[in-house]
Structure 1
Amino acid sequence: MANTITASEWSPTISAIAITGASGFIGQALLPVLSAAGHQCLGLSRQPQPGMQRVNYQSRAQLVSLLAGQECLVHLAGVAHNPTAREADYQAGNVQLTAQITKAAKEAGIHQVILISSIKAMGEQTPPGQPFTAEALCRPEDAYGRSKLATEQEFISLCERFQLQWTIIRPPLVYHPSAKGNIERLANAIKAGQWLPFKGADNQRDWVSLAVLNDLILTCIDNPAAHQQIFLASDGQPLSTEAMANRLAADLGLSAKLFKLPRLVRLLMRIIPGLARTEQKLFGNLTLDIRHTTETLAWQPKCSDGDHQASVNPLAK
């Protein structure tokens, strides 16, 4: 049940915030957002990075020492979705790592931890007109999704035992023209002038721009309405795969070359082993109902067609 505290009824008092995985895609953009809001940030990274503290996440003593004096922890570190990773890799890099960091946060005296999870903890697709809700049953479909759900469950269990204030955010695809993974592959194809089979795609897929996700994280910090809550994140503007390709191309200052894949080919893809999953990812639906997020936090995604370019390009040079 949503808390009744609204954004106008609280004033954040947290000043010191630690971010794990600070050298990653989200972390690099989050640090300046938090700093601009007046927070003192400690960025933690496995590798040496300017302005960040190198950390060995396997060393509880080092973690506790680094986190001492921090008030809030935003946990981004983990094993990203990788087709070559094994189940054990995800368990170690997500479930076990999060448990280690949560325990260190308790020992260091931190009282709020925000876990950035993934919509894949819930599943890979939604039926038309039936978006995921925060209360929906989770049915992850691959090793990565299973590890994210297990991570959430272990995280909640530890936080409740330690009496920590916790928040979980489940984003779908995080959008930025310089993002890695699927966005990078699509961007490279557009830059290379490749023809893409997305014309006429009428599916709906939610996504969240990097700026919107970081604004949501900022909103959750020291906000009593965010405590002990799971939030879904999106821009609130689901797009078809065709529209996504055109949006990315526009943000890159280019035009996407699209053609329509014959319906028969798509039908064959659905029954050919190895291609059904690809067809679903390209043309299936994945939508989110974020009303629990917006109503609980009195928050709205600050992104519209008119200001999209400025909103999603905080790192653009």
Structure 2
Amino acid sequence: MIAETDYKAQLLNLPQPEFGVAKTDIQYLVNCAYQMSAFAGLHPVDAELTVGGALRQLARVSCQRQPSIDVLSYEDMILTNPLQSDPRVYCLGSAGVEERDFCLGHLLIESELQSAMDALLEMRDAVGADARQCLAVCVERLEAAVCVLARFNERMSPDLFGQFRVFYGKNPYKDRLGPSGRFSARIVAVSVLLIGEELFHQKPQFYMDIYRLSEYYPQGCIQEVFRWLSPDKGSAGLQPSWLEGKADFPKFATISPVMERHGSEIRKLRASCVCALDRFTRMHRGTALKYTVEPGRPVVGVEASESVEAVLSQRLLTAAHQR
């Protein structure tokens, strides 16, 4: 059916955001074909035949126009999926409702993180910015994200989660990770702005993994973060020299230089933001353990060579650095 129509030309001519939705549709179809092939125990050659050359070509074209990993991504699943009007889900009935709500919850968290990020950027970059107001907005939005995550933890059905989660696993025929909250570029951005230097000294693996797995993140946001972290703007996206110990960490990427100009009230507000971010990270860790690790389900955003616990705890600072 796909081969009989010139969908490639139609795809390339789509304006944004229609193209983003079309790319999401294509990746959902490709992912479904691979996952169903795995359920049926098909050989990789037969799995590729199931996907089909025409659909694979559309997937390649969509990733060329909007650079991203060549499998269903976190951006496809959460940010471009039209969840509030016509959600793309795999399941029907109550499992489909739970699947939609799972994605919507992540979208709500992304919205709160964007607001926190905007407030921190204003504090860092805007001349004459009201630091107290910026930090107050940041802590309010981070607390709101914690509340959304708390509702997940309290209300989501483990059984229904298990029904739709099987479709979002690692690609069974490619060496690729699945869509995961680990690949939220906005939580990376907030972490860098708020505690970037402390993370570098305590958890350098956090930065190493971001650069190593950068293709899994929404590219617009993660490339912006790389520009902040790059003393040489022309090398943004390449692992920087400071991560290899050849230069100092770029404090200008964070709000630290602004903090140095303020007194105890602003320091206390910043500490409240750090505590809210810490609560979010700990709650996300607990939720991941409850719904995936403890029931024996694979964590789709973690490589086999990685420690699940280490990945889930990457943004946690020691108590001495949270004050």
Above 0.5 in TM-score?
no
TM-score (norm 2): 0.31
TM-score (norm 1): 0.31
User: Which structure: greater strand fraction?
Assistant: 1
Structure with larger Rg: 2
User: Which structure: greater helix fraction?
Assistant: 2
